Amino acid sequence: MLSIRFGEDREWWTSSSNFDRLLSSAIEQGQVAPENQELRDVAAANGGLDVLDTMTPEAGDRLISGLRMAARHDLDLLDDGSTNLDDDGYRVSLGKFLEAIG
């Protein structure tokens, strides 16, 4: 699993596929800049990611904000009735993400 760290006490444990899915969704929605796509590879290579050490504080804040918006958007879509197991896992993981970033 990946340890995605947004600061000292903010950590999101997730699978590679759920992290990829949120990041790709955020980019697709225009919430996060496309050049951040590389973060999925950085996270995979490092067993996780230190967001605030990987980029400037401003860029880190923009990334977190973009991911938050995308997560809320995806949760709204999933709440509309998807029932497959992958979506269940993604929904739970998004909940943990939103809880982690506060």
Report d(CA 72, CA 19) in Å as an integer.
Answer: 14
Site for another protein (CB under 8 A): which residue of 25, 31, 36, 93? 93
Report d(CA 33, CA 58) in Å as an integer.
Answer: 13
Report d(CA 97, CA 46) in Å as an integer.
Answer: 19
Q: Going residue by residue from 32 to 71, which x/- string records binding to another protein, judged by CB under 8 A?
A: --xx-xx--xx-xxxxxxx--xx-----------------
Residue 40: CB minimum distance to another protein, A: 9
User: Which residues, at least 6 apart from 40, have a Cβ–Cβ distance to it below 8 Å?
Assistant: 16, 19, 20, 23, 24
State the residues that interact with another protein by CB under 8 A. Answer: 1-3, 5, 11, 13-17, 20, 24, 28, 34-35, 37-38, 41-42, 44-50, 53-54, 85-86, 88-93
